[in-house]
Amino acid sequence: MIVNLPYSALRAFEAVVRHSGFSSAAVELGVSQSAVSQHVRSLEEWLGRDLLVRGARQSRPTREGEQLALAISEGLGRISDVCTQLRDKTRSDRTIVISCLPGFAFNWLFPRLIHFDLAHPDLSISIATDTGQHPFSGADADIGIRYGLGEFPGYQVDLLMAERLFPVCAPALLPELRGIEDLSRHSLLVDENLHHGAASPTWEFWARQCGLILPAPLRTRRLGQSNMVVQAAIEGLGVALGREPLVIDALCDGRLVRPFAQLTRSPLSYWLVRRHESKDSQKVNEFLNWIRSEASAQPDIPPPAEL
């Protein structure tokens, strides 16, 4: 007999364990952090035991919680694979599924997709946002746009674009930022979901590459997604380390400005990832030609703002 399981709560719990916290799990599931917390608590009450050791920044599973999370991941993963296969059999051959990071989708891809729709009215684009913390699955998408070092074994991988790093802020903050030392009077906006170790494009990396010393102490405001970092900078909530593709449009239309001249090349880039057999797919090739054209047409970084 199959027990009547609380599937929503199980899925929420597995996401919390995988992300080591409630915030990122909520973003993945598209619900509030409070909703995720309620799901996990209801699951613990249903089972009659604690499943998580909750911390201020991270939550880790208990021994029983780790066993349950693994079982959920394996079980739901298998169900997902079967459902994907069934959907693929009925999905129109004129639909292209793109998997990419939420920040890249929101700040760079979405504003440009209208150009693709106008040029290819016979094709439909479906966007599946992905945190990028797990390997690309060719069963879930036709093309993955991934951020990293380009190491995706088993797939066809091509460089889409590199990026440069430089501080950005709202124009209203500009008079208060005459030198690097003035950063001590502002919050530095930080994307807490950069999981690339020493290769992560951090404030410290930018300062080191530019031969600068960040002032101390520094105040930071940590946010769960890169698009939230960009929006917080636009709202004047602090100074962000701009990643070129994610801020170029806001720079060009004046919502953001560069307070300092120093910039450096990021250690990470954006990559097009796909199955090797997709080289024979006309729809995939049409999208690849289009997105490469958009990347090459991206405007250059505006110069630093003048006081």
Q: Which of 145, 225, 154, 148 is nearest to 189 (CA)?
A: 225
Max CA separation in the chain (angstroms): 72
| Residue 12 confidence (pLDDT) above 70 | yes
Give the pLDDT confidence of 36-95 residue by residue, as tens digits. 888 888 888 888 888 888 877 788 888 888 888 888 887 776 776 666 665 655 455 788
- Cα dist from 15 to 20, 74, 88, 150, whole Å: 8, 13, 25, 25
3-state SS, the chain, equals CCCCCCHHHHHHHHHHHHHCCHHHHHHHHCCCHHHHHHHHHHHHHHHCCCCEEECCCCEEECHHHHHHHHHHHHHHHHHHHHHHHHHHHHCCCCEEEEEECHHHHHHHHHHHHHHHHHHCCCCEEEEEECCCCCCCCCCCCCEEEEEECCCCCCCEEEEEECCEEEEEECHHHHHHCCCHHHHHHCEEEEECCCCCHHHCCCHHHHHHHCCCCCCCCCEEEEECCHHHHHHHHHCCCCEEEEEHHHHHHHHHCCCCECCCCCCEECCCEEEEEECHHHHHCHHHHHHHHHHHHHHHCCCCCCCCCCC
285's tokens: 């090739």
Query: 3-state SS of 148-206?
Result: ECCCCCCCEEEEEECCEEEEEECHHHHHHCCCHHHHHHCEEEEECCCCCHHHCCCHHHH
CB-CB neighbours of 51 under 10 Å: 22
Q: Per residue in 245-281, pLDDT tens? A: 999 999 999 999 999 999 999 999 999 999 998 888 8
Residues 6+ apart with CB under 8 A from 231: none
For residues 269 and 161, the answer to whether their CB atoms sit within 8 Å is yes
C-alpha–C-alpha distance, residues 267 and 163, integer Å: 8
| pTM to 2 decimal places | 0.69
Token representation of residue 118: 């106008």
Alpha carbons 137 and 122: distance in angstroms, whole number? 26
The share of the chain scoring above pLDDT 70, in percent, equals 91
Average pLDDT, the chain: 87
Top pLDDT among 284 and 194 is at 284
pLDDT tens figures, 123-176 = 999 988 876 666 677 677 899 999 989 888 889 999 999 999 999 999 999 999
Q: List, in order of start, the domains of the chain with CATH numbers.
A: 7-89 (1.10.10.10), 93-160+269-296 (3.40.190.10), 164-265 (3.40.190.10)
Tell me, what's the pLDDT at 206? 95
pLDDT value of position 263: 96
Q: Is 261 helix (H, G, I), strand (E, B) or coil?
A: coil
* Three-state DSSP class for residue 31: coil
How far is C-alpha 91 from the geometric centre of its chain's CA atoms? 26
Tell me the pLDDT band of 1, cut-offs 50, 70 and 90: very low
The pLDDT confidence band at residue 239, using thresholds 50, 70 and 90, is: very high
pLDDT at residue 87, as a whole number: 60
